[in-house]
Amino acid sequence: MSRSTRFPVAVHILAMLAAFKDQFVSSDQIAMSVATNPVVIRRVLSLLNAADLVVTQAGAHGGAKLGVNPADVSLLDVYNAVEDQSLFRVHEPHQQCPVACCVKSDMEGLLGKLENNMERELGTIKLSKVTNRATREFRNYVKESS
């Protein structure tokens, strides 16, 4: 059973774009930082672009750049932009088993509550909390490398 990594990858992408300020960053550069294939990055960028969180430009000098002020965006906004299904899913048990019916109902209620709590918490955290630190670390790295 695999879980989606789109949300943390999306936050990583946005943090990297914030560090590069108003420059277009290629999917190859981002993929190197995320340690994944550029195709994966392009898929996530497409979702972020559709949500107006990034601006993309095709071509040899293209790429993506941040399209928003990170202080105006919550992590819930990012999550909603890239995730298309519930965090949890309940299996389909045997319909006539009384244990199965109770467990399914109880788990749906519990998991729904957990997901609501997660979303509420993500709504309180601004993207800038991540991007500010990432930008500082990037600038320190650039200074030390010079």
Sketch the domain layout of the chain as residue ranges: 6-85+127-145
pLDDT value, residue 141:
85
The dihedral sign for the CA sequence 72, 47, 35, 75 = positive
Q: What is 6-85+127-145's CATH number, 1.10.10.10, 3.40.1190.10, 3.30.700.30, 1.20.120.850?
A: 1.10.10.10
- Per-block mean pLDDT, blocks of 10 residues, the chain (146 long): 85 97 94 96 98 94 95 98 84 81 87 94 97 92 84
- Cβ contacts of residue 45 below 8 Å, gap of 6+? 13, 27, 30, 54, 56, 64
Of 12, 77, 85, 87, which Cα lies nearest the Cα of 45?
Answer: 12
pLDDT at 2: 65
